[in-house]
């Protein structure tokens, strides 16, 4: 399968931003994927497979993050990430703004 490069912007909907719980869920989600995944916020780009890097990014609610996925399973990986962000990582109605 050919390697894909996908870039998409997404807004953080969680009331507390990308805190420990969503960061943990992102890292767990990405453990099984082959693609490289990076988040960019305020000119800082981090490896999204690192919980510490996600926490250091300190993206608050309503932050616009650029997700870059590179690899053979890039589309499936991006789809799962977007769904997780849209569902506020299972944190209930906190995504309403």
- Counting Cα atoms < 13 Å in the Cβ hemisphere of 78 gives 18
The verdict on whether 5 is a catalytic residue reads no
Give kind and range of the element (H or E) at residue 85: helix 74-86
Give the separation between CA 92 and CA 58, rounded to whole angstroms.
Answer: 21
Of 6, 10, 17, 19, which is the active-site residue? Answer: 19
Active site residues: 19
């Amino acid at each position: 399968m050919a390697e894909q490069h996908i870039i998409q912007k997404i807004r953080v909907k969680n009331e507390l931003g990308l805190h420990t719980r969503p960061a943990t869920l992102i890292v767990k989600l990405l453990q099984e994927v082959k693609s490289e995944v990076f988040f960019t916020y305020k000119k800082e780009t981090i490896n999204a497979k690192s919980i510490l890097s996600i926490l250091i990014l300190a993206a608050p609610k309503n932050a616009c993050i650029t997700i870059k996925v590179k690899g053979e399973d890039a589309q499936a990986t991006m789809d799962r990430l977007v769904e997780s962000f849209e569902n506020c990582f299972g944190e209930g109605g906190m995504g309403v703004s």
